[in-house]
Structure 1
Amino acid sequence: MNLLKTILSTSVFAIASVALHAQLPAKVESFPVRDVRLTASPFKHAEDMDIRYLLGIDPDRLLAPYLKEAGLSPKAENYTNWENTGLDGHIGGHYLSALSYMYAATGNKEIKARLDYMISELKRCQDAAGDGYLCGVPNGRKMWKEIEEGNIRASGFGLNDRWVPLYNIHKIYAGLRDATLQTDSREAKEMLVKLTDWMIRLVSKLSDEQIQDMLRSEHGGLNETFADVAAITGNKRYLKLAHQFSHHTVLQPLLRQEDKLTGMHANTQIPKVIGFKRIADLEGNRDWSEAARYFWETVVNHRSITIGGNSVREHFHPADDFSSMLTSEQGPETCNTYNMLRLTKMLYETSADVHFMDYYERALYNHILSTQDPVQGGFVYFTPMRAGHYRVYSQPQTSFWCCVGSGMENHARYGEMIYGHKDNNLYVNLFIPSTLRWGDTQIEQQTAFPDEEGSTLVISPEKGKKEFTLLFRIPEWTKPEALRLSVNGKRQNVRVKEGYVSLNRTWSKGDKVRLELPMHLRAIALPDGSANYSILYGPIVLAARLGKQNQDGMFADDSRGGHIAAGPRLPLQ
């Protein structure tokens, strides 16, 4: 049985280490995606499909909102859907991030040419603005001037009569950040710093209370990107800005380890917590780091289902009642899991706790990988948990939801958590066919997991021999006593410590390490204690196809609700 078919229908160079404060030390460092190349597997297929999707988009239509705001003539009209109804420009920022990751992950020259074009056109917009401003919010200048003067009218999805402009501008901040870190673009770095300086001037006359009032409006992960600018430049004033954009309505209950999430818009909160963790790591702030960990544990252990997703109709439902999850066609949102994986990565790196990787694996295989159609391409907004229902996939010329933006990025980032390293230790965390370049050593992982219950590493030091410790993650779904580990066919003693089995030796070119990981069936109940279960084999949540009839709008048009699978719903009994 091909298990994956049943579910399918951080940087090129490290952020500069800055002595802003005593930083939280990384216990495991993930490899930048440029050091990892995927080989034949469903993950590689998803990466290839994503390249096709990225190249199928007209960059001039994504750039149109930015050119209009800069007073320049657009070369094409805006795309439709969310891109011309108030959230104009948000996909342009995601697109920049996706191109940056994809070029780093593959070296694809067409992707690099598209990235260079995007940066050059965005730079033209910023230069025309003259003050560092770069955004696609329609008639944004008038709105930003009101905010600068203290005239703030905020609501959950609005700010001064615009659709979440802070969320919108965060996407271009993040895009420039990713272009800086993934591709070493000096132009992107200069643009990022100029845009951040513009924001400092914008809020310079506002009180902390006024800024907190403004943050009632969804604002993405602005605190994270400003902290990243602080790390990139070594300038403390950007860390001050990151603090100013940290929403205390969300932070304070987390510091007290109180779950106040019920009813809140889920993906509004997750990026804020990513920012809390990023600031904590730069400052060595263990209280904020623990707040982020508490949020993660609350969401993963009490508010998520087995595929790794959370929320119904975009909001956190009561933790003790998952009934809406089982009946709604608007189940877990892809953006939420995208951001939960980003938070998971950060928490794992400063703890080396394998429980983070167990969640990461399950969410990656069962949610993220499955949100791209493997034949036609396209990305999913909602994954209904309602039995027998279906999902809607985006199309390159019609669909510009938030989950299209994060979806473009998802399938370019598969390489970033397969392996990790610290000092002379190499960690193997995910069983995905790939090659790794680690200094002067190449590692090739050969596996058909999860159809194969194990994985083989081929180790090839350039200089013939190299001594290091190899650590395999032992997943929570296997039985340690059933493990089998061998080197060049010779059985090795197995001892599991802190979730890893380790092997230290001087490795020779062509050494083969084989780890066998027996899988078994198990049932996992919903967190609310109700008599509802998922059946898993290893990390894979099993599912069955129930036919293809009445899947209305399975490939979305450009209507406002085109991302919702609104066709007939089968009876639950």
Structure 2
Amino acid sequence: MKKVTSMLIGLGFTISSSVSYAQNSPKPIEAFSLNEVRLTRGAFLHAQQKDLDYILSLNADRLLAPYRKEAGLPVKAPAYGNWESSGLDGHIGGHYLSALALMYASTDDKRLKEKLDYCIAELALCQQQNKNGYVGGIPNGKIFWERIGKGDIDGSGFGLNNTWVPLYNIHKLFAGLRDAYLIGGNQKAKEVLIHLTDWFCNLIAPLNDTQIQQMLKTEHGGMNEVLADVYVITQQNKYLDVAERMSHQAILAPLVSHEDKLTGLHANTQIPKVIGFERIAELKNRQDWHSASEYFWQNVTQKRSVAFGGNSYREHFNATNDFKPMLESNQGPETCNSYNMLKLTKALFLHEPKSSYIDFYERTLYNHILSSQHPEHGGLVYFTPIRPQHYRVYSDAQKGFWCCVGSGIENHGKYAELIYAHDDRNIWVNLFMPSQLDWKERGIRFIQKTDFPNQESTVIQLSLKQTQKFKLFLRKPFWLNSEKLLVKVNNQSQYLTVDAQGYVSLEKTWKNGDKIQLALPMQTRLEQLPDGSNWYAFAHGPIILAAATDSLDLKGLVADDSRMGHEAMGKLYPINQAPVLVGSQNAVIASLKPLKNQPLAYKIENPNLFFTQKTSLILKPFYQLHDARYMMYWPLMNANEVSQHQEKLKAEEQADIILRQKTVDWISLGEQQPEADHAFDGKQTRVGGSIGNFWRSTTAWMSYKLNNPDLKSKAIEITILKDSKAHAFEVWLNDTLTQKVETSTENGKSQVFTIDLGENILMQKSIQIKIVATGENGSGAIQSIRLVK
């Protein structure tokens, strides 16, 4: 058994263990800790520095204000706004601890360590004030947790006892404390973490398994994972037992059976659960749980992810055979999803070092994570739409506090986490980044020199204190069209055969000054959407290429502090007016003209492009494309199909265009962000349905706030799904009973009720709508509430 300290170093982060899944499974390898690897140049180093500036610009006392408030201590500075003051108070504070620890390990910047130590001391003070081990920023947290401890659990969708994802929120603190200890080296963080964990374990101890699973229906982050990590830190089995109890069986069971039940589920709610399944599989020797995690990874990466590595639209998993809704939506893949998918990918790779894991990791790192930060002001992205000619929105460091800001400040501080990996004596080279590795225990230094992807090769220079023998594993990426790799060792060429794991190995007695050169020839190709439709993205090696079309009407490009500021709300260009690639794949690729002195930049020219606005467009790496509308996915067809294609898309969009034109505000009931954006509250409510067809019902009441900023609204439309029962409810607007509604029992998909706004309501910029059930069958399944002109 390895020492616990050794197991923790792997978190550099990833906790490794001597426990294997089966007797014949390969021995887990370890990632190097972040303080052993340094970026030396290039786009990732630039992004790291921008993130460092972002982190340092944040006011620790403002982030800590929710914790001091809930502990009954005077706040030292007012809390930040946006999500930090609208129900998810304190969640960024947890991410901030992780970000400080990660960036400190990556840079050794002492300012970060000072801030980290200060935050931990403040949290310890809050914990001491609470007297029971609890510390948190959740509004009215003491009352909330008291209800949970008594088994009073009303969980539906994202709300638990009418509190916005409280378990998700506190998970960020658990993870931040863990990272502060393991990565940041703060011993006090360990004490706070263990006291907090004891409090949580004691809180849920009286609950039976049914109550626990009811609680887990709401988004809860990776609580099972972090509890398992506390077990590794303490070696106390009780924490691992609680970690297993906190694993959501409704998600786990189908995955164990390799059943795909993911369509329509909130994507980022599920991914952290699976990270926890994999952690517990490692520690409890559960091959079935590991197989479940692997199946999930295969399903999401191969069937649900688009070319840049992201997945989901409107935060939910779409159907694997229909990506059309994602193509149409301005809410494309969420950055948090990729943040967590990379965590899962890393865990699976460290169990079995297969190049296919790193292929996905590399794709997502370059094209989603790197592109999610603005290279100048450092703002962070929530949604990355693939809708033709739409755009992304960036955060303002002092105004935007979305979930993707929290994960974002972590993302760009840990780029070096998986460039290299090792076992007791051998080294894996996974990514081609300019970097330096110092394995001090072995007296080995690697200096990787490259300008990849602008350069199609990399060079590794060895600096050794003494001659020693080990294997060097070099990854063969999927985009390299060869069964062998061309490798030069001290300028001597050799073609090496790729093994079953997708690596070539060099074993020799290495000496100081040895040099390894790896050829990485890349080609441009078209990648089709996973559903097989005729939409394609350009890729060159691992790099996704996209084209800017214009920079008009980029509404909210840098978001304000509004609740929905993270969404690109500017004009939606009709999809039938998007550029079309004309011809065969080979013809389109052959038509690309490289631009001089602009690496990875190409011009698409007629006759292989049909675009009414311009005669040509410029492709370049997506991670370099900012502040513009863009094309990432393109329809591909022959010249005779173009007119028919455009007319078909125009007809399909017409009804939607008319609906959008008359809409002032809109709530899709049962979906997490739309409901949170509109201040959902309620009692005795239920949710159901699937993406595009969600609903919420109540047997008591539920309420929302609608936005009428320009005072143009005239009515509210309520869409309710029909069923075999009659339903009745009252509609109250701004505390005034406005209309009574009764539904029929006729067969049909839905029924729309239009409620005219009274004179007083017409002049209100904020309209509260309250649905009060009056019949014995409740309100029925309400699908949407729309404020219309």
TM-score (norm 2): 0.70
Partner residue, 1:248: 249
User: For residues 416 and 239 of structure 2, what CA distance do their matches in structure 1 show?
Assistant: 30
The equivalent of 1:462 in structure 2 is 465
Of stretches 415-424 and 447-456 in structure 1, the one that deviates more from structure 2 is: 415-424
DSSP-derived class of the 1:415 partner:
helix
How well do the aligned residues superpose, as a CA RMSD in angstroms?
1.6
What's the offset of the Cα at 1:219? 0.5
Match of 2:146 in 1: 145
| Greater Rg over alpha carbons, structure | 2
User: Who is 2:179 aligned against?
Assistant: 178
Q: Which runs of 5+ in 1 are unaligned?
A: 1-9
Counterpart code for 1:406: S
* Match of residue 541 from structure 1: 544
The AA in structure 1 aligned to 2:289 is W
Q: Distance in 1 between matches of 2:255 and 2:572?
A: 38
Match of 2:498 in 1: 496
Other structure's SS at 2:546 match? coil
Residue matched to 2:482: 480
Give the structure 2 partner of residue 561 of structure 1.
564
Counterpart in the other structure of 1:532: 535
Give the SS at the match of 2:496: coil
Q: Deviations over 1:180-214 (max 9, x none)?
A: 11022211111111000001110111111011111
1: CA distance between counterparts of 2:342 and 2:246?
22
Tell me the CA shift for residue 27 of structure 1: 3.3
Contact 1:64 1:75 in 2 (8 A): yes
1:571/1:97 CA distance change after superposition, 3 Å: same
- CA deviations on 1:347-403 (whole Å, 9 max, x unpaired) are 111111211111110010000011000011111000010122111111111000000
What percent of counterpart residues are identical?
53
Rounded Cα–Cα distance in structure 2 between residues aligned with 1:505 and 1:104? 32
Moved beyond 4 Å, runs of 4+: 12-26
Give the aligned residue type for 1:38. Answer: L
Is residue 2:228 matched to residue 1:227? yes
Please report how far the alpha carbon of residue 476 of structure 1 lies from its aligned counterpart in structure 2 after TM superposition. Answer: 0.5
Deviation at 1:468, TM superposition (A): 1.4
8 Å Cα contact 2:13/2:31 also seen in 1: no
Give the letter aligned to residue 336 of structure 1.
N
Which amino acid counterpart does residue 569 of structure 1 have in structure 2? L
Separation in 1, partners of 2:13, 2:527 = 40
**Cα distance, 1:492 vs. partner?**
2.3
Residues of 2 paired with 1:412 and 1:357: CA distance? Answer: 19
Paired amino acid for 1:487 = V
Indicate the residue corresponding to 2:305 in structure 1: 304
Cross-structure match for 2:417: 416
Supply the distance in 1 between the matched residues of 2:351 and 2:112 (Cα, whole angstroms).
33
Q: Tell me, in whole angstroms, the C-alpha distance in 2 between the residues paired with 1:431 and 1:535.
A: 21
Amino acid aligned to 1:553: G
What letter corresponds to residue 50 of structure 2 in structure 1? Answer: M
Distance 1:542 1:467 in 2: 41
Query: What CA distance in whole angstroms lies between the structure 2 residues aligned with 1:325 and 1:294?
Result: 23
Structure-2 change in CA distance of 1:450 and 1:18 (3 Å): closer
CA contact (8 A) 2:256 2:289 kept: yes
Asked if 1 retains the 8 angstrom alpha-carbon contact of 2:268 and 2:337, the reply is yes
Answer yes or no: is the 8 Å Cα contact 1:303–1:316 preserved in 2: yes
Paired with 2:414 and 2:487, the residues of 1 have a C-alpha distance of 29
Q: Distance in 2 between matches of 1:253 and 1:14?
A: 26
Report the Cα distance in structure 1 between the residues aligned to 2:567 and 2:451, rounded to whole angstroms: 34
1:34-55, Cα deviation, whole Å (9 max, x unpaired) = 1100011100000000000000
Q: Deviation digits for residues 480-516 of structure 1, max 9, x if unmatched?
A: 2574211222212422212111111222222211001
Q: Return 403-412 or 539-548, whichever deviates more.
A: 539-548
2:298 is paired with a residue of what secondary structure? helix
Whether the aligned pair in 2 keeps the contact of 1:483 and 1:518 (CA below 8 Å) is no
- After TM superposition, give the deviation of residue 129 of structure 1 in Å: 0.9
Spell out, residue by residue over 1:500-551, the C-alpha distance to the aligned partner (whole angstroms, 9 max, x if none): 1111122222221100111111121111111111111101111112222211
User: Contact 1:220 / 1:268 at 8 angstroms: preserved in 2?
Assistant: yes
Report the CA distance between 1:28 and its aligned residue. Answer: 2.6
Match of 2:632 in 1: none
CA 1:368/1:288 → structure 2, altered by over 3 Å: closer, same or farther? Answer: same
1:11 Cα deviation after fit = 3.1
Work out which structure has the larger RCO, using CA pairs closer than 8 Å and 6 or more positions apart in sequence: 1
What CA distance in whole angstroms lies between the structure 2 residues aligned with 1:59 and 1:402?
A: 17
Determine helix, strand or coil for the equivalent of 1:480: coil
Q: Which amino acid aligns with 2:379?
A: G
Whichever residue aligns with residue 454 of structure 1, its letter is S
Is the alpha carbon distance of 1:558 and 1:114 closer, same or farther for their aligned partners in structure 2, counting shifts above 3 Å?
same
Partner of 1:125: 126
Name the counterpart of 1:103.
104
Number of the residue aligned with 2:42: 41
Structure number with the higher helix fraction is: 1
Counterpart amino acid of residue 232 in structure 2: A
My pick for the range that moved more, 17-26 or 159-168, is: 17-26
**CA distance in structure 2 between the aligned counterparts of 1:22 and 1:493, rounded to whole angstroms:** 34
Would the alpha carbon gap of residues 285 and 561 (structure 1) be closer, same or farther in structure 2, given more than 3 Å must change? same
1:511/1:456 CA distance change after superposition, 3 Å: same
Rounded to whole Å, the distance in 1 between the matches of 2:409 and 2:75 is 24
| Cα 1:20/1:461, change in 2 over 3 Å | closer
SS in structure 1 at match of 2:181: helix
Match of 1:511 among 492, 506, 514: 514
C-alpha spacing 1:150/1:409, structure 2 compared with 1 (3 Å): same
Of Structure 1 and Structure 2, the greater strand share is in 2
* C-alpha contact 1:314 1:333 (8 A) present in aligned 2: yes
Unaligned runs of 5+ in 2: 1-9, 578-789
User: How big is each residue's C-alpha offset from its partner over 1:208-256, in whole Å with a ceiling of 9 and x where there is no partner?
Assistant: 1011111111100000000000111101000111011100010111011
Structure 1 distance, partners of 2:93, 2:424, is 38
Q: 1:270 to 1:14 in 2, by over 3 A?
A: closer
**Map of 1:57 onto structure 2:** 58
Secondary structure, counterpart of 1:486 in structure 2: strand
Q: Match of 2:503, as an amino acid?
A: Y
One-letter code aligned to 1:496:
V
The correspondence of residues 170-569 of structure 1 with structure 2, limited to 5 A, is 170-438=171-439, 439=441, 440-463=443-466, 465-481=467-483, 483-498=485-500, 499-569=502-572
Q: Distance in 2 between matches of 1:535 and 1:46?
A: 24
Q: What is the aligned length? A: 563
Deviation at residue 466 of structure 1 after TM alignment:
2.2
Please identify, of 43-52 and 386-395, the stretch whose mean Cα deviation from structure 2 is larger.
Answer: 386-395
Return the letter of the residue paired with 1:467.
K
Deviation, structure 1 residue 292: 0.5
What is the distance in 1 between the residues matched to 2:311 and 2:13?
32
Deviations, residues 461-492 of structure 1 (Å, cap 9, x unaligned): 023x2221111100000022574211222212
**Larger CA deviation: 232-241 vs 19-28:** 19-28
Alignment partner of 1:122: what SS? helix
SS at match of 1:497: coil
Read off the aligned partner of 2:352 and give its amino acid letter: S
Does structure 2 retain, via aligned residues, the 8 Å contact 1:12–1:183? no
